[in-house]
A and B are shown apart, each in its own frame.
Chain A
Amino acid sequence: MVSDIVVQFAHRPADDAAAAIAAHLTRFWHPRMRHRLVAAVDAGADVDPVVVRVARMLSPAVPAP
């Protein structure tokens, strides 16, 4: 779950944390997983605000599943 990653970066400012998490997901997550995250956020999932920032950073670059 992305929330498990978010808490590891909770010590950092939200923008920094979101950038680091987005970079991590880009480097290690299958595009389908990233796509689902973005879709879940777009659908209004109840998530940490940092996750929303992550999704926005990922959104333009996530390839179709």
Chain B
Amino acid sequence: MSLLKEPDFGTPARSGEATVELTVDGVAVAVPPGTSVMRAAAQAGLEVPKLCATDSLEAFGSCRLCVVEIDGARGTPASCTTPVAPGMVVRTQTEKLGKLRRGVMELYISDHPLDCLTCSANGDCELQDMAGVTGLREVRYGSGVDAGANHMDLLSDTSNPYFVFDPAKCILCSRCVRACDEVQGTLALTIEGRGFDSKVSPGAGGTFMESDCVSCGACVQACPTATLQERSVVELGMPTRSVVTTCAYCGVGCSFKAELRGSGDSTEVVRMVPHKDGGANEGHSCVKGRFAFGYASHPDRVLTPRVRDSIADEWREVSWEEAITHTARRLRAIQAEHGAGAIGAITSSRCTNEEVYVVQKMVRAAFGNNNVDTCARVCHSPTGYGLNQTFGTSAGTQDFASVADADVIMVIGANPTDAHPVFGSRMKKRLRQGARLIVADPRSIDLVRSPHIEAAHHLALNPGTNVAIVNAMAHVVVTEGLVDRGFVDARCENTGEWEEFIADPAHSPEAVEEITGVPASDVRAAARLYATAGNAAIYYGLGVTEHSQGSTMVMGMANLAMATGNIGRSGVGVNPLRGQNNVQGSCDMGSFPHELPGYRHVSDGSVREVYEQLWGTPLLDEPGLRIPNMFDSALDGSFRALFVQGEDIAQSDPNTGHVHAALAALDLVVVQDLFVNETAKFAHVLLPGTSFLEKDGTFTNAERRINRVRPVTAARTGKQEWQIVCEIAQAMGYPMHYDDAAQIMDEIALTTPTFSGVSFAHLDAVGSVQWPCTPERPEGTPIMHVDGFVRGKGRFMVTPYVPTRERSNRRFPLILTTGRILSQYNVGAQTRRTANVAWHPEDVLELHPHDAEVRGVADGDRVELASRVGSTSLRARISDRMPVGVCYTTFHHPVSGANVVTTDNSDWATNCPEYKVTAVQVTPSTALTAAVPAQEETTVGAGRG
């Protein structure tokens, strides 16, 4: 593909029917009311010259280049700020307009360095383009330093690792400032000074890195000159071609144009540019997706397979053939000695649907058991359980665009501006327009109070009391007569039992105030707002699911949404913000030990029969082992070999000591990954994986959107990951072959009703689809449960609050909760190998000033963080975001190993770990690393959950 340049219509589209008819340069065009003359002209195929206008931003009217003549109107109005009117007659090209535009251009050029041939934006500069379009041939005032007073000596700001700011090239169009305001919503940039002294300024006159800038790149993208330019473009030059693909970081699933130079082995990624047609992101990005892709070419990449007999041995590089044969032989040998059920696999939410599908197929068909689980076990498995019980499907209800129709947004246990930043920007845009906000979170996250946004209610609940809060809100709804009786009567069941339960005074805000720590009046006010202010939407994250009652809380939120009729239309719903790029997809693909693809239980004979016929082998009808069961079984000796696809369980899973002991007990650990991660230290076989830039397949994001992942470069390892899995299965004696990844998706579509008709060709044709896809709706279903729930009627579930077993006491008086930060991603395997470390070089422990003071801890001090299961050392950050008695850290760096202290308590229904509640003590320390117990006695019981 050549370099893809999307059309720029100058101003944003307006919704509605195209009822306003006008003519532009004699061309008739009809557009919706409120459309600008500039956009109408563009839709008529006529480009009006412009500099300060771009269609991602509202019109500004500063550059005066887009002037037009309109019959009956005085003067030459700016077409960007002039709305269309019926019968309007517009001229965009006249001699008078030409003179005006050249005059404007002369002024711009008189204060601009004329170094076009050596400028990094040469060939991609709108100022250069407009000089050509307007026919500029002379600058009467002179140019550059010859023109008198100028801005040529302003110094560049090179503080940001990804882009440079050269104010000498700035034309003060304010596109960067407006992009930061309107698109990103951070408001980090401003125009400082007046008149000739005006200049773009990050914050209060400091550098970009000193400012509130979040490096989303929106300003760089909006800049029409080389003022804000990617360092990679400065260093490498302009890209020459594009490949549209999907980001591999969070569950937003942004579409990007990978802009490239060279071909074949010489291909270089110059930059990643967010794709305007991407349904999830619509042209926006964050610092990770836009800039942090350098890990794909990092020297730490493992490119050749490695094996070793013992984890105490050195690695030995081997051929693919030897690695695959060795792996297959060892797996079969272990099965021969210990039984077919002694081996299993963990799939990755970082990998494509196709890669995940073949791993679960390998387990079920070649291993002959159902011992396959996925990292969603430790993040959103309660979402699958809870939404399935209540609504009948294991997925969120809305598309991302739905938030634009929300009147009330309730964010529970999520921090979208850090963890899902592009959706966070969408949300902030709606909040700036006036939607009301309820935040339920122990921490004062950015959304609670940030520029132009303030939560109507911040329910700063005690960790572990989510269910008590959601029950209290539902209690208010039911007892104050706020139930949407029409919706509930027509569309829900089990209503009577639930209403009787929830109306019990034990669930009133007053009764649970002491438990939750939230004033009853706040809970009542929040409940009334949620129930009565129009469209109310719930967005939640791991602060909901990673609790001992994660599944109960998901059902509690579903109850609240059903009781108030906030399901089945735009602007409402219950929406999980998925952590990883393909959490939704990995679950869809049958990664759980009890489910075949499409969330169909293994005990369903009719479903098994479909696969048994296609795969040519009988399948087990009983659930396999979950990840925690695998660990426990490894320690009791009944589970002996594990294939780990693209996950770093040794760092990401809770109670690190227990996980390490389990991994060390296995006879065979096979790791498929980009790097020698923490889990690979326990591996006997290391199979090099491919980065997202090398993959060919699909990811499914949190809104059920199936997006294409297209290979930008060839696999640096020489093999796609799905090929390796197939070859292992074949070497084990089970025939498994596909010509390409498209064939795998064809098999998925053939066997999974909700993926009906999905294929690479279809996705290439329509861009993306949101499952469920049916023959009647081949482009999918953006909003679910519109006319009825997937399970028929929505089912109210009784949700008693049960306190977690994890309690603070005198020895461990604080509660630790964990989360993510904007610049880093999960275990950091990717982002730690990029310049993103500039923002977060180490994990820190956030403490309330009081908790720090009583411990004699000052900001920046190193402290020991100890729980009942382990201890580690981090630097302290004193933060008034934290409530007294609660501390917080991230888990991006293995050196601090936050999960050394987290326990193996878990959700009762799904075993999702309770990362969010750990009783700890914090003391001053001089230690530098985590203290991981080398071995741990295991408690072999009847399993958990």
Contacts and interface: CB of A to CB of B under 8 A. Distances in A.
A64 B941 CA distance: 17
A33 B908 contact: no
B909 A28 contact: yes
Interface string B593-620: 1100000010100000000000000000
Contact of B622 (A8, A30, A40): A30
Contact of B943 (A10, A11, A33, A63): A33
B594 A28 contact: yes
B552 interface: yes
A32 B638 CA distance: 10
A4 interface: yes
B262 interface: no
Contacts of B622: 30-31, 63
A5 B908 contact: yes
Contact of B945 (A4, A11, A36): A4
B623 A29 contact: yes
B942 A30 contact: no
Contacts of B944: 1, 4
Interface string B900-916: 00000000111000000
Interface residues of A, number: 23
Contacts of A1: 941-942, 944
B734 interface: no
A24 B385 CA distance: 11
Contact of B629 (A12, A27, A33): A33
A8 B908 contact: yes
A30 B908 contact: no
A32 B834 CA distance: 44
B4 interface: no
Interface residues of B, number: 30
B447 to A, nearest CB: 31
Nearest to B551: A8
Interface string B332-349: 000000000100000000
B601 A27 contact: yes
A46 B908 CA distance: 20
Contacts of A27: 594, 601, 603, 623
A37 B633 CA distance: 15
A30 B802 contact: no
B909 A24 contact: yes
B103 interface: no
A33 B942 contact: yes
Nearest to B908: A4
Nearest to B504: A11
Interface in A1-56: 1-2, 4-5, 7-8, 10-12, 24, 27-34, 36-37, 40
A27 B548 CA distance: 19
B48 interface: no
A1 B428 CA distance: 42
Contacts of B341: 32
A7 B625 CA distance: 23
Contact of A28 (B501, B623, B800): B623
A61 B549 CA distance: 28
B802 A29 contact: no
Contacts of B638: 32, 65
A33 B942 CA distance: 5
Given A7-B802, A10-B800, A27-B601, A2 B942 contact: yes
Nearest to B638: A32
B941 A36 contact: yes
Nearest to B630: A30
B601 to A, nearest CB: 7
Contacts of A28: 594, 623, 909-910, 945
Contacts of B593: 30
B57 interface: no
A36 B802 contact: no
Contact of A30 (B623, B805, B940): B623
Interface string B929-945: 00000000000111111
B800 A11 contact: yes
A38 B505 CA distance: 38
A59 to B, nearest CB: 13
Nearest to B907: A4
Interface string B527-549: 00000000000000000000011
A37 to B, nearest CB: 4
Contacts of A24: 909
A32 B940 CA distance: 12
B794 interface: no
B306 to A, nearest CB: 32
Contacts of B908: 4-5, 7-8
A12 B633 CA distance: 32
A29 B601 CA distance: 12
B501 A11 contact: yes
B373 to A, nearest CB: 11
A65 B943 CA distance: 14
A10 B501 CA distance: 13
B601 A30 contact: no
A4 to B, nearest CB: 5
Contacts of A8: 549, 552, 800, 802, 908-909
B629 A11 contact: no
B463 interface: no
Contacts of B623: 27-31
Given A5-B908, A8-B552, A30-B629, A36 B800 contact: no
Interface in B764-819: 798, 800, 802, 805
Interface string B423-449: 000000000000000000000000000
A2 B945 CA distance: 6
A30 B624 contact: yes
Given A27-B594, A30-B622, A5 B945 contact: yes
Contacts of A32: 341, 625, 633, 638
Contacts of A7: 802, 908
A31 B603 CA distance: 13
A50 to B, nearest CB: 14
Interface string B804-841: 01000000000000000000000000000000000000
25 contacts: A2-B943, A4-B908, A4-B944, A7-B908, A8-B552, A8-B802, A8-B909, A10-B802, A11-B501, A11-B800, A27-B601, A28-B594, A28-B623, A29-B623, A29-B943, A30-B593, A30-B622, A30-B624, A30-B626, A30-B629, A32-B625, A33-B942, A36-B941, A37-B942, A65-B638
Across the A-B interface, the 9 shortest Cβ-Cβ residue pairs: A33-B943, A37-B942, A4-B908, A36-B942, A31-B622, A7-B802, A30-B625, A11-B800, A5-B908
Interface of B: 341, 501, 548-549, 552, 593-594, 601, 603, 622-626, 629, 633, 638, 798, 800, 802, 805, 908-910, 940-945
Given A1-B941, A27-B601, A32-B638, 11 more contacts: A1-B944, A4-B805, A4-B908, A4-B944, A4-B945, A8-B552, A11-B800, A30-B629, A33-B629, A37-B943, A65-B638
